[in-house]
Chain A
Amino acid sequence: MTGPNPQLDSHGGLRHLLTTEGLPREIILHILDTAHSFLSIGEREIKKVPLLRGKAIFNLFFEPSTRTRTTFEIAAKRLSADVINLNVGTSSQSKGETLLDTVANLSAMHADMFVVRHSQSGAAHLIARHVAPYIHVVNAGDGRHAHPTQGLLDMFTIRHYKKEFASLRVAIVGDVLHSRVARSQIHALTTLGVPEVRAIGPRTLLPTNVSDLGVHVYHDMAAGLKDVDVVIMLRLQNERMNGALLPSAQEFFKYYGLTPEKLARAKPDAIVMHPGPMNRGIEIDSSVADGRQSVILPQVTFGIAVRMAVMSILAGNA
């Protein structure tokens, strides 16, 4: 590894949130604790606190997204920030402007924070390297690399239901190869001391050296789910059928889709998570998605609190 951790400032504080890899445990816990304190705001009549009043937050989405962009927008608005949404994929980039030019132009409009989604791994790192020192960058998903706020909201969810991390078995199932969510979860889980993280999927959907990330690899879902406390299902993109990675959605569902029968292998109180949007009948059976063990909707609620926490900590108000 070369150079200092680009998301920390010289005092070890959080300057950007780019990845959960190398994110110190104390910072993760601070984000989770802060998010916890924000959770009640969403239930109030007036869902706003003035922490980021006067700050300009640009949602810079080079790749289409509705859900993530919306939750960032809600989080920023609850902190009283001014939010500007830019779907760059449909504007300047198609006119040939480079990523850094777009960022430079928006910086000139006195942005305080960029929330960035991009189809290329490393895009948020590139932007973070080039912004003025007072601007913060939040990675809202870059290629296959990282989606740290999703990873952190998943940690929040796990802690909410399981209280602590030190004795858990967590299984991540499906397309780990293309998943920035899985990478962010794996780094966060190992940093928080989860003793056993499992990756379950066919060889075509697991990265070659996935065990280097500190996970145990399973190709047989029944074995992989045995006695786990948390089951995290990943979204399977339809285009995976094109590149000879999978024969069909049906076969994938048969062997790696989460059904009540397969879930019965996990602990009786295991929770089921999914980063959304779900493909019912492809990676998850509806009866599981809507069942008593599913915490998929609370994940979304927690996501707003976690994003509020990240933005307020970055802006130095928490």
Chain B
Amino acid sequence: MKIRISGARVVDPASGLDKVLDVFVAAGKVLALGAAPAGFAANRVIDAAGLVVCPGLVDLAARLREPGYEYKATLESEMAAAVAGGVTSLACPPDTDPPLDEPGLVEMLKHRARSLNQAHVYPVGALTQGLKGERITEMAELLDAGCVAFSQADAPMPDNQVLLRALQYAATFGYPVWLRPRDAALGRDGVAHDGKVATRLGLAPIPSVAETVALSTILLLVRETGARVHLCRLSTADGVDMVRQAKALGMAVTCDVSANQIHLSEMDIGYFDANCHLVPPLRSERDREALRRGLQDGTVDAVCSDHTPVDDDAKQLPFGESEPGATGLELLLPLTLKWAEEAKLPLAAALARITSAPARLLGLRAGAIVPGGSADLCVFDPLAGWKVEPARLRSQGKNTPFAGYELAGRVRYTLVEGQVVHEG
């Protein structure tokens, strides 16, 4: 299949390219940019005038719910959601049932994902067996099976000795460890940010120190072990400051935020809206502004969807009993564009946070448009507005705090290895 994408504005944050050019795709790869290679006869021409071509999005956290939670979502439904959102590579956290703590589970997931021929799936293996925080997993075996990093997902790490040893062991082989800073005890039983809304609504609080105390522990252990640590889903202003300082001191830590956290705050909980029950919790408006500034100044490396499809029954409960999480794969692009527009940043700067930066964190060659590279591409209309209607999302999870939002940025075509896997 030879495809010519004609007349599009090609934005490649990795190279700085931002120009109206034709893109030529053949044999799963980007063959050339600009002039057609000699003898190129396209099987298909995509008229992309007025559209943007960027690298396929790379999402650092998308739960596919397999194995174990097929009633919430399946690989089929969530991979369709991924490509509908322009996401061509995604990392999935290990909090499945059972957790991704055995090579067989990882191989099965990789195999199932490959057979669907859609987005590339990069499993993040469990750092400890059963995510219990007690015994470390067979990291080398898991890596051979296809894991790209190791994580506790949202499970706590109650024992710092285990954390120290897990980091030492991972550092032995140079494996990346992804940690969401959360103290196991602070904020125990909490469901909302310890702020004015939780006080008003009488929701059990999760204080900011639940993040920062864990973060300071992690940073000290990183210094001790030299482990490669990526910090997931920062949620507090103080957390951003600590990472900024750590980076200024030359520490090789990286971090991400969820697209939810850069747009929403505790105020959005309103009258107990369970769609705003998220992990980490939506924090204060001050925290949100700090996360946005951190994202702008590079303290925060990437934006992820933190995609968590939840079945309706699990959301139709009192706030504190409802299952946390929001669907997000199809909103990652428009929410990132919205942030960039509000922050008055160029398009390439926005796209960098969801393409080249997360690809670098994952150690992938993806996230760039280069001749000879895999033709994983997202073609979108940056001006097309659409209203978020949960029923129309491809994801099986219809739970989103953004229902009813008018967003700009609609994916028209998604290509994975040169195949058009989505047209919208």
Q: Looking at the complex, which of A40-48, A114-122, A190-198, A292-300 is the stretch in contact with chain B? A: A114-122
Per-residue contact bits, chain B 190-206, to A (CB 8 Å; 1 contact, 0 not): 00001110111111110
Is B175 close to A, CB under 8 A?
no
Residue of B nearest to A22 (CB): B271
Q: Which of B203, B313, B318 contacts A123 (CB 8 A)?
A: B318
Complex Cα distance, B199 from A143, in Å, reads: 12
Per-residue contact bits, chain B 249-272, to A (CB 8 Å; 1 contact, 0 not): 000000000000000000110111
Measured CB to CB, the closest approach of chain A to B2, in angstroms, equals 50
Complex Cα distance, B203 from A3, in Å, reads: 19
* Residue contact A145 to B202, C-beta cutoff 8 Å: yes
Residue of A nearest to B191 (CB): A121
Question: Cβ of B318: which chain A residues have Cβ within 8 Å of it?
Answer: 99, 118, 120-123, 126, 142-143
* Residue contact A1 to B321, C-beta cutoff 8 Å: no
Is A10 close to B, CB under 8 A?
no
Question: Cβ of B321: which chain A residues have Cβ within 8 Å of it?
Answer: 120
Question: Cβ of B270: which chain A residues have Cβ within 8 Å of it?
Answer: 1-3
Q: Which of B310-350 contact A (CB under 8 A)?
A: 313, 316-321
Is B273 close to A, CB under 8 A?
yes
* Residue contact B320 to A120, C-beta cutoff 8 Å: yes
* Residue contact A126 to B316, C-beta cutoff 8 Å: yes
Question: Given contacts A3-B270, A100-B316, are A122 and B201 in contact (CB under 8 A)?
Answer: yes
* Residue contact A125 to B271, C-beta cutoff 8 Å: yes
Per-residue contact bits, chain A 114-143, to B (CB 8 Å; 1 contact, 0 not): 000010111101100010000000000011
Is A146 close to B, CB under 8 A?
yes
Is B156 close to A, CB under 8 A?
no
Measured CB to CB, the closest approach of chain B to A53, in angstroms, equals 33
* Residue contact A209 to B202, C-beta cutoff 8 Å: no
Measured CB to CB, the closest approach of chain B to A249, in angstroms, equals 23
Is A98 close to B, CB under 8 A?
yes
- The number of residues on chain B lying at the interface, defined by a beta carbon within 8 Å of a beta carbon of chain A, is 25
Q: Which of A3, A21, A143 contacts B200 (CB 8 A)?
A: A21
Question: Given contacts A1-B267, A121-B272, are A98 and B317 in contact (CB under 8 A)?
Answer: yes
Question: Cβ of B316: which chain A residues have Cβ within 8 Å of it?
Answer: 98, 100, 126, 130
Question: Cβ of A77: which chain B residues have Cβ within 8 Å of it?
Answer: none
* Residue contact A98 to B201, C-beta cutoff 8 Å: no
Is A183 close to B, CB under 8 A?
yes
A-B interface contact total, Cβ < 8 Å:
79
* Residue contact A212 to B199, C-beta cutoff 8 Å: yes
* Residue contact B267 to A143, C-beta cutoff 8 Å: no
Measured CB to CB, the closest approach of chain A to B320, in angstroms, equals 5
Is B373 close to A, CB under 8 A?
no
Per-residue contact bits, chain A 229-252, to B (CB 8 Å; 1 contact, 0 not): 000000000000000000000000
Is A210 close to B, CB under 8 A?
yes
* Residue contact B267 to A121, C-beta cutoff 8 Å: no
* Residue contact A144 to B195, C-beta cutoff 8 Å: no
Is A89 close to B, CB under 8 A?
no
* Residue contact A121 to B194, C-beta cutoff 8 Å: no
* Residue contact A208 to B313, C-beta cutoff 8 Å: no
* Residue contact B202 to A183, C-beta cutoff 8 Å: yes
Question: Given contacts A21-B200, A213-B199, are A122 and B319 in contact (CB under 8 A)?
Answer: yes
* Residue contact A209 to B195, C-beta cutoff 8 Å: yes
Question: Given contacts A100-B316, A120-B320, A120-B321, are A208 and B207 in contact (CB under 8 A)?
Answer: yes
Q: Which of B201, B207, B273, B313 contacts A121 (CB 8 A)?
A: B201
Residue of B nearest to A6 (CB): B271
Question: Given contacts A3-B271, A145-B202, A208-B207, are A126 and B317 in contact (CB under 8 A)?
Answer: yes
Q: Which of B196, B202, B268 contacts A143 (CB 8 A)?
A: B202
Is A69 close to B, CB under 8 A?
no
Is A78 close to B, CB under 8 A?
no
Complex Cα distance, B24 from A171, in Å, reads: 75
Question: Cβ of A126: which chain B residues have Cβ within 8 Å of it?
Answer: 272, 316-319
Is A207 close to B, CB under 8 A?
yes
Is A180 close to B, CB under 8 A?
yes
Per-residue contact bits, chain A 1-27, to B (CB 8 Å; 1 contact, 0 not): 111001000000000000001000000
Measured CB to CB, the closest approach of chain A to B268, in angstroms, equals 6
Per-residue contact bits, chain A 31-74, to B (CB 8 Å; 1 contact, 0 not): 00000000000000000000000000000000000000000000
Complex Cα distance, B321 from A99, in Å, reads: 11
Question: Cβ of B272: which chain A residues have Cβ within 8 Å of it?
Answer: 121-122, 125-126
Q: Which of B205, B267, B271 contacts A208 (CB 8 A)?
A: B205
Name the residue among B196, B271, B272, B320 with the largest chain A CB count within 10 angstroms: B271
Complex Cα distance, B16 from A267, in Å, reads: 74
Question: Cβ of B267: which chain A residues have Cβ within 8 Å of it?
Answer: 1
* 10 residue pairs from A and B, CB less than 8 Å apart: A1-B271, A2-B273, A98-B313, A120-B317, A120-B318, A126-B316, A142-B318, A144-B202, A144-B204, A208-B207
In the A-B complex, the 4 residue pairs with the smallest Cβ-Cβ separation, listed nearest first, are A144-B202, A122-B272, A2-B270, A145-B202
**Other 18 A-B pairs with CB < 8 A, given A122-B203, A208-B205:** A1-B271, A2-B270, A3-B271, A98-B317, A118-B318, A121-B203, A121-B272, A121-B319, A122-B318, A122-B319, A126-B316, A142-B318, A143-B320, A144-B203, A146-B202, A208-B194, A210-B199, A212-B199
